Chains A and B, each alone.
Chain A
Amino acid sequence: MTPDLLIKLGIGGGVLFIVLNLAGLQTWLERKQSALMQDRIGANRAYFTWRWLGPLNWVLRKLGALGILNALADVVKLLTKEDFVPKEGDRFLHTLAPALAVLFALLAFAAIPFGPPLELSGRTVALQVMDVNAGLLVVLALASIGVYGVILAGLVSGNNLATLGGLRATSQMLAYEIALGVSLLGVVMVYQTLDLGLIVQRQGELLGGWLPRWGVFLQPVACVIFMTAALAETKRVPFDLPEGEPEIIGYFTEYSGMKFGLFFLTDFVEVVLVSALTVTLFFGGWQVPYLKPDGFHFPWGAAIPVSHAGYVLWGVSAFLVKVLAFIWFFMAIRWTLPRFRYDQLMHLGWKILFPLSLANIAVTSVLLVLIR
């Protein structure tokens, strides 16, 4: 019992570590990618040296020139800022809101499988923090609860702008959660399970002997709807209405210091989350095309054997690379498109995405019946 628990704790800690680091590094990625897109240089000034470090200072300077240490500087800045609660605000709820937001965003990672089952001295360890048979529901539920933090932040700040932001967040989540959930029904129907681990495993098979059985090929419409709705979940441009800086400063108007930092972090964690979900559901999760547990089997007959450790490593790195690719993709969208207006957003959510996802279910079920 104890070793199992230790292994689970280890995996949990590892996931938390990687997710938080990815989120932190996203501040760097965001700065540098936007700079690249906008013909700028981007952050390159923050660095520190410490004389006891000796030659390592050279490395620190180089990292500073790359802008990576800016993430560290951000944290130091946020931690040392005044924590301000407005007079009309409620101190307890005001503090609770960012914690709620970030907590549920992080918890949702528990159900996501990030690698093939690992054989470790006679034990089969699922590379997944929480191996539940309704993982999809868990993720959706946790992601939806996360919005309570945002709503709470808007309502307890005692500020009209923040209230508007909170209300916008509520209606936006409602409009998009439904389209998101319904679009996923198609995936569930195709793979016949709610278990994320199984969904990924079933995406390892081949379609017609050469095309991976990925969700994006079986459910292209659902994939587009899911990605749109998921983008709306992350509350970033073009769906950043709850923040909408130039309009209503956002639900975090009255937040400063690390409490604001937590909202900031939640945004980035959510981007990682929706990237991981997109990969898991539609892009084969940790599956590498043509890679079976014993090695690569290409459709033209060639085969390269791979050891078990190599197989797991391939899986985990494939998952990570795919997630990074989607983070990049979402960020490219974020720096290209303008923002929707409230009613246009509702229009898109209720009148386009929702009926479209319903139609997708109908078509999928008819096709499934016909095939069988």
Chain B
Amino acid sequence: MPTETRHMFLNIGPSHPAMHGIVQIITELDGERVVGADVEIGYLHRAFEKDAEAGPYNNAIPYTDRLNYVSPLINNFGYCLAVERLLGIEATERCQYIRVIMSELSRITDHLTCVGASAMELGAFTVFLYMIKAREWLWELVEAVTGARLTISYGRVGGVKADLPEGFAERARKALEDVRKVLLECDGLLTRNRIFVDRMQGTGVIGKERALSFGITGPFLRSTGAALDCRKYSPYFVYDRFQFDVPTGEHGDNYDRYLVRMEEMEQSMRIVEQALETLPGGPLNVDHEGRMLPAGVMVDEAKMGRVAGFKNVRVRLDPTLQGSTRGFHEAVNPDAKRAVLPAKEDTYGNIEGLMHHFKLVMLGHGIRPPQGEYYSAVEGANGELGFYVVSDGSDQPYRVRVRPPCFAIMAALSELIVGDMVADIVPTFGSVNMIGGELDR
């Protein structure tokens, strides 16, 4: 007589060690096999899109840091790119290079986190810490450039906050060299590890057609064999000037996604190295006096009206402050007066600069893109990260809509895990690289 069996419901999340970010998966189990799954998202909803409407265009930038908080720089630049295109301005060449370099560094940190966390959840804790160590070196670079590690707010409509610090290229090359060593080590620990391969191969499988119909992009799609990459098919910034490959898998399983991510890190490093090699100098105009003036002194002088000559003085500012020296400022910001704050020397030193600054920061003035709408996408670490900005001609966006890459993947998640075992939820979910901030906005 057959035994009567019942399915068991297992609630994974919202608070569960493997659910990084907050998400709930209600699974229906037949023994250890998943026969049904219901993915609940929305636990991290913070009304980013609504918040963006509530202030001037530049005010949304700190919020974009918190979208994909593992690679915040890409979000920054993605949003800036959309607004810039709406405005019809273009960042300077040096600025574009800086954006490419920082984006690629962020992509590496993101992939390191994703692969490392997946490995950790499979029990290979050591790999995770190796990768976090490598990520730390990259974050030190990010910190040197932006002054922060996560809440970087480095992008600006029309430019970036500050130029690269001195000696950045050498530091970056050194860091990449170290990261390569770590990746080689992790590759040795995982790629041909029988247990790891058995766990990853053939789990979380999705076909190319199915993935495309879900709107999945990024490494997840590329693992199925579709070589779709925003950097290639609609180059933004200066990506078309660099040599890099778009790695693809063929099976669309967790193992291919792991391999694609590992290879993409290598490609990102290639891009960074090429960009550092060809980084244009930009007009770093040192004045004939070459006097260095600390920012505090400059402010005091300006308060007493002693502003003559500021125009020609090269002022040293704390790089974490808004602006930098004028030389740097001009190098990374376009001439467009509509978008970019003037150099601090001008703000404090002459009436045109002061008015320019005033017009941009005062509520009701600020950046005013012409009426219209624009959708632009950058290749985020998880896939196509799109920003759709609608302007009604005022200084506040009428609507900002984010196309988070992991949203589409999460839609497919229940399909991915049904039929696998409970234990397979972990690597599959890990390879989605769900970032709560980006998913729920």
> Measuring CB to CB, which residues of chain A are less than 8 angstroms from any residue of chain B?
34, 37-40, 160-161, 163-164, 168, 237-238, 240-241, 244-249, 335-344
A163 and B425 alpha carbons, distance in the complex (Å):
18
The reply to whether A160 and B421 form a contact with Cβ atoms under 8 Å apart is no
The reply to whether B133 and A39 form a contact with Cβ atoms under 8 Å apart is yes
Within B83-141, the residues touching A (CB, 8 Å) are 119-126, 129-130, 133
The reply to whether A160 and B8 form a contact with Cβ atoms under 8 Å apart is yes
The reply to whether A160 and B129 form a contact with Cβ atoms under 8 Å apart is no
A301 and B425 alpha carbons, distance in the complex (Å):
63
The reply to whether B123 and A38 form a contact with Cβ atoms under 8 Å apart is no
B195 near A: Cβ within 8 Å? yes
B285 near A: Cβ within 8 Å? no
A246 and B119 alpha carbons, distance in the complex (Å):
11
Q: Considering only CB atoms, which chain A residue lies closest to B182 in the complex?
A: A39
Within B285-310, the residues touching A (CB, 8 Å) are none
Within B141-172, the residues touching A (CB, 8 Å) are none
The reply to whether A249 and B198 form a contact with Cβ atoms under 8 Å apart is no
A240 and B125 alpha carbons, distance in the complex (Å):
13
Shortest CB–CB separation between residue B35 and chain A, in angstroms? 15
A34 and B129 alpha carbons, distance in the complex (Å):
10
The reply to whether A248 and B422 form a contact with Cβ atoms under 8 Å apart is yes
A241 and B122 alpha carbons, distance in the complex (Å):
11
Across the interface, A246 reaches (CB within 8 A) one of B10, B18, B126, namely B18
The reply to whether B421 and A38 form a contact with Cβ atoms under 8 Å apart is no
A-B pairs with the 9 shortest C-beta distances?
Answer: A339-B123, A246-B18, A246-B121, A338-B122, A38-B129, A338-B124, A338-B123, A237-B123, A341-B423
The reply to whether A336 and B124 form a contact with Cβ atoms under 8 Å apart is yes
A160 and B27 alpha carbons, distance in the complex (Å):
11
The reply to whether B122 and A339 form a contact with Cβ atoms under 8 Å apart is yes
Shortest CB–CB separation between residue A152 and chain B, in angstroms? 19
Chain B positions within 8 Å of A244 at CB level: 423
Chain B positions within 8 Å of A38 at CB level: 125-126, 129-130
A337-B195, A342-B32 are contacts. A247–B126 as well, Cβ < 8 Å? no
Chain A CB count within 10 A is highest, among B9, B11, B421, for B421
Chain A positions within 8 Å of B426 at CB level: 246-247
The reply to whether B196 and A338 form a contact with Cβ atoms under 8 Å apart is yes
Across the interface, A340 reaches (CB within 8 A) one of B190, B195, B425, namely B195
The reply to whether B123 and A337 form a contact with Cβ atoms under 8 Å apart is yes
A341 and B9 alpha carbons, distance in the complex (Å):
20
Within B1-45, the residues touching A (CB, 8 Å) are 8-11, 16-18, 32
Give 15 new A-B contacts, CB below 8 A, not counting A247-B423, A338-B124, A339-B195: A38-B130, A164-B10, A237-B123, A238-B123, A246-B426, A247-B426, A248-B422, A249-B16, A249-B17, A338-B196, A339-B122, A339-B123, A340-B199, A341-B424, A344-B199
The reply to whether A344 and B129 form a contact with Cβ atoms under 8 Å apart is no
Across the interface, A336 reaches (CB within 8 A) one of B189, B198, B421, B423, namely B189
A343 and B199 alpha carbons, distance in the complex (Å):
10
The reply to whether A335 and B18 form a contact with Cβ atoms under 8 Å apart is no
The reply to whether B195 and A238 form a contact with Cβ atoms under 8 Å apart is yes
B193 near A: Cβ within 8 Å? yes
Shortest CB–CB separation between residue A175 and chain B, in angstroms? 14
Chain B positions within 8 Å of A39 at CB level: 129-130, 133
Chain A CB count within 10 A is highest, among B120, B189, B198, for B198
Shortest CB–CB separation between residue A352 and chain B, in angstroms? 12
Shortest CB–CB separation between residue A70 and chain B, in angstroms? 18
A-B contacts, 25 of them at CB < 8 A, read A34-B125, A160-B9, A160-B11, A161-B10, A163-B8, A164-B422, A237-B123, A240-B123, A245-B17, A246-B426, A248-B10, A249-B16, A335-B125, A337-B124, A337-B193, A338-B122, A338-B190, A338-B193, A338-B196, A339-B123, A340-B199, A341-B198, A341-B199, A341-B424, A342-B422
Shortest CB–CB separation between residue A237 and chain B, in angstroms? 4
A248 and B423 alpha carbons, distance in the complex (Å):
8
Across the interface, B129 reaches (CB within 8 A) one of A40, A240, A247, namely A40
Shortest CB–CB separation between residue A151 and chain B, in angstroms? 16
Q: Considering only CB atoms, which chain B residue lies closest to A237 in the complex?
A: B123
Shortest CB–CB separation between residue A18 and chain B, in angstroms? 29
Across the interface, A341 reaches (CB within 8 A) one of B17, B120, B189, B421, namely B421
A88 and B331 alpha carbons, distance in the complex (Å):
67
A280 and B193 alpha carbons, distance in the complex (Å):
31
A246 and B426 alpha carbons, distance in the complex (Å):
7
A175 and B421 alpha carbons, distance in the complex (Å):
19
Chain B positions within 8 Å of A161 at CB level: 10
Q: Considering only CB atoms, which chain B residue lies closest to A35 in the complex?
A: B129
The reply to whether B126 and A336 form a contact with Cβ atoms under 8 Å apart is yes
Shortest CB–CB separation between residue A337 and chain B, in angstroms? 6
Within B194-210, the residues touching A (CB, 8 Å) are 195-196, 198-199
The reply to whether A247 and B124 form a contact with Cβ atoms under 8 Å apart is no
Chain B positions within 8 Å of A237 at CB level: 123, 125
Chain A positions within 8 Å of B11 at CB level: 160
Across the interface, A342 reaches (CB within 8 A) one of B129, B130, B421, namely B421
Chain B positions within 8 Å of A240 at CB level: 123
Chain A positions within 8 Å of B32 at CB level: 164, 168, 342-343
A341 and B194 alpha carbons, distance in the complex (Å):
12
Across the interface, A247 reaches (CB within 8 A) one of B18, B120, B125, B189, namely B18
Chain A positions within 8 Å of B121 at CB level: 246-247
Chain A positions within 8 Å of B17 at CB level: 245-246, 249
Q: Considering only CB atoms, which chain A residue lies closest to B19 in the complex?
A: A246
Chain B positions within 8 Å of A342 at CB level: 32, 421-423
Chain B positions within 8 Å of A163 at CB level: 8
Q: Considering only CB atoms, which chain A residue lies closest to B119 in the complex?
A: A338
